[in-house]
Amino acid sequence: MAEPIRHGGNLREAARRYSIAPGDWLDLSTGINPRGYPVPPVPPDAWRRLPEDGDGLAECAARYYGAPAALPVAGSQAAIRALPPLLRRGAVGVAPLTYAEYAPAFERAGHRVMPLDVSMRELPAGLDHVMVANPNNPTAERIARVVLLHWHAQLAARGGTLVIDEAFADADSDPGTSLAGETAREGLVVLRSVGKFFGLAGIRAGFVLAAAPLRDALADALGAWTVSGPARHAVQAAFDDRDWQLAARAQLRLDSERLAALIESHGFDAHATPLFAWFRTPDAAALQDALAKRGIWTRLFDRADMTPSLRIGLPGSEGDWARLARALAESVA
C-alpha cells in the first residue's frame, strides 16, 4: 500500500501526538492567509437552492484572473485528480520537491512520472506533459513567464500539455507573472485556488483556466454542482472587493519579509512567498518537534534523497508573532 500523502493543516494529528488540545496550538503548517477575507452574510437562497452555473461566477472569475474563460471546481485539488485521465498517456515532468498530490494523480491515470529540473530551458525530448507550481510549494521557487511559454511551445508541438498550479499567485502584486491570460492556447492549463490568498480554504473553491475542449471535458468528468451555493457567494464577493485585495497584498508582503527575517536571524537561509517561508536544515525534524512541544505546528519535508526542510506560515496577530519568536529562539538554542 502506498504511503499516505501528508499535508499541512493536520492539526488534530499533532494534538493527539503531543497531547496538546487543538485550541492551544498556533497552526503555521499551511500557506493560508491568517487574515482571511470577511465574507458578507450568505443569502438564504444560497443554502436552499441548487447551485446554478448561470449565476455569473465563471465570468467573474475570468475577469478577476484576466483569462478568456474559467471553470469553477471544488478547489484546485479536484482538478489535479481529474485532469490526468483526460490527457494522452505519456511521460510527465514533476519537480522532485513540490505539492505531493501531482505525481500520484498522474500515476493513477497511467502516466509515467519523471523528475523535472525546473532550471532547464529545453525540455527532454521524451517528455509529453509538465506539471509545475508557480510559485512552487514549498520551495517558493518561481519560473519566469518566458520560460513557461517556451516550455508550452515545446510540449504543444508534441501534442502535450503544460499544467501550471498558481495556487499561491494571487498574493503576488505583479499579475504579469501569471499565464492566466494565455489559456486560450491548446495544451496550456492554469489552476487557481481561492483558499490561499483569500484565506477561504474551507469553502473548497478553485478554477481551471484552459481552452474550451479540455475545459468542457473536465466539466463533464466532474459533473454538476461542484461548487456549493454559499461558496459561490463568498468567491464572487471576494473577487469584486478590490480594496481588500490591495490592502491584503501590501500586508502580506510586509509579513513575509518579517517572517523571512525572523528565520534568517537564527542562521537559516529562508525562501519566501507572501504566504510562507521555507528553509533547509539537517535538523528540520528536531526543530519541528521542538516547536510542536511548544504548541506551534509547522510542515516538515523529510525525503530521504534530499536535505530535510521546514515550511512556516504567517502568524496572524502580534501575540502569535511573539510566541513564534520565543519558541524559535528556545528551540534553536
- The kind and range of the H/E element at 253 are helix 242-264
Q: What is the percent of the chain with per-residue pLDDT over 70, rounded to a whole number?
A: 97
- Residue 305's pLDDT is 86
C-alpha 142/C-alpha 133 separation (Å) is 8
**Is the per-residue pLDDT at 4 higher than 60?**
no
- Residue 42's pLDDT is 94
pLDDT digits (tens, 9 = 90+) for 91-115: 999 999 999 999 999 999 999 999 9
Q: Where are the beta strands (DSSP E) in the chain?
A: 26-27, 71-73, 91-94, 112-115, 129-133, 161-165, 188-193, 206-210, 271-273, 276-280, 296-297, 299-301, 309-313
The average confidence (pLDDT) of the chain is 94
pLDDT digits (tens, 9 = 90+) for 238-280: 999 999 999 999 999 999 999 999 999 999 999 999 999 999 9
SS3 115: strand
Instruction: State the Cα torsion 30-259-252-14 to the nearest 10°.
Output: 20
Average pLDDT over residues 165-171: 95
Amino acid in position 131: M
**Is the per-residue pLDDT at 9 higher than 80?**
no
- Residue 173's pLDDT is 72
Average pLDDT over residues 195-221: 96
Q: Where are the domains of the chain?
A: 11-36+243-332, 44-240
Average pLDDT over residues 321-327: 98
**Is the per-residue pLDDT at 2 higher than 50?**
no
| Residue 177 pLDDT grade (very low, low, confident, very high; cuts 50, 70, 90) | confident
Q: What is the percent of the chain with per-residue pLDDT over 90, rounded to a whole number?
A: 92
Mode of pairing for the β-strands spanning 129-133 and 296-297: unpaired
**Is the per-residue pLDDT at 186 higher than 90?**
yes
**DSSP string across 142-174:** ---HHHHHHHHHHHHHTT-EEEEE-TTGGG-S-
In sequence order, what are the residues at sequence separation of 6 or more whose Cβ sits closer than 8 angstroms to the Cβ of residue 324?
26, 28, 262, 296, 312, 315
Model-level pTM? 0.94
- Residue 280's pLDDT is 97
- Residue 1's pLDDT is 36
Average pLDDT over residues 17-27: 95
Thinking of the domain 11-36+243-332, which architecture would CATH place it in? Alpha-Beta Complex (3.90)
- Residue 174's pLDDT is 74
Average pLDDT over residues 152-160: 97
- Residue 8's pLDDT is 67
**Is the per-residue pLDDT at 158 higher than 70?**
yes
Average pLDDT over residues 29-56: 94
Instruction: Tell the CATH topology of 44-240.
Output: Aspartate Aminotransferase; domain 2 (3.40.640)
